[in-house]
Amino acid sequence: MTKKTTDIIGKYESSINMLRLEPRVLQYNTLILAEEGSGKTNLACKIRNFVIDMEVPTLYVDFADSKIEEIEVRYKDEHFNYIQFDESDAFQEKLDNLIAEKKHIYMAVNPNFFATKRDVKSKLTKTLQKQEFLDGYYYFFHDIKNLDGFHSKFEDFLLYMLGFLNMKKYGLTFLAQPHTTFESHHVKLLFTFLYIGKCSNLEYFNTSQLKNLEKNKFFYQYRTAHRTLLFNDIISNMVKVDEYKS
């Protein structure tokens, strides 16, 4: 496999070192939290390009249910295949054709299609858990339209995510606005890579460091690949992500 240059996505603020995406990004989960306009989609596009360069197909799930004309131009490259979720047979046929060709998929979704009860499995959940997706696709969950995101649709969001993440082969990048849901230590344990951008509500994440962050600056934490006695070490840095260029 030819090494591409898209592994460099920015730099560390406290050193001359470049911020790079490691191959293990493909296997583990990334959480991006920041207010609107802070650079979440810019960062997600860089991760998406890295995954594409590593020849892994991507499923980008947009829970804002965006129409195609509402989607940022940066996503509309040669790998952009838009589809809007519904419960029809025609939708499933179109989706299956894209999967059969291992196409990169951008799927707009209304989160109201989720069932809110634990013992009910919606058609949307069944679609996201197609074996072809679980076995061969890297996921993106784009949930940044408002604070009442899809994570509020479940009796137990942690239980839903834990079950889902344990089934898939590749990683997940989750984009969301800051919310108390993501302050849970149990939820954070689901993610190896964490980027927190501007967060002016001091009730979240208990730090004033995030209040005045510029666009594309993130407080970055990641779990190392090397274990200590009980857990992987956690490294923290402030980073600046390069602006995406098509």
Q: What is the CATH number of domain 21-221?
A: 3.40.50
State the pLDDT at residue 214: 93
State the pLDDT at residue 1: 40
pLDDT in tens, 153-184: 776 788 888 888 999 999 999 999 888 888 88
State the pLDDT at residue 203: 61
Q: Are 208 and 202 in contact (CB under 8 A)?
A: yes
Mean of the per-residue pLDDT values for the chain?
Answer: 88
238 pLDDT higher than 80: yes
Kindly write down the DSSP assignment for every residue of 134-151, as one continuous string: HHH-EEEEEE-S-SS-GG
- How much is the average pLDDT of 185-210? 82
β-pairing verdict for 8-12 and 18-20: antiparallel
Spans of all domains in the chain = 21-221
pLDDT in tens, 96-146: 999 999 999 999 999 889 887 767 788 999 999 999 999 999 999 998 766
How big, in percent rounded to 5, are the helix, strand and coil portions of the chain? 30, 25, 45
pLDDT in tens, 40-91: 999 999 999 999 999 999 999 999 999 999 999 999 999 999 999 999 999 9
Per-residue confidence band for 225, with pLDDT thresholds at 50, 70 and 90:
confident
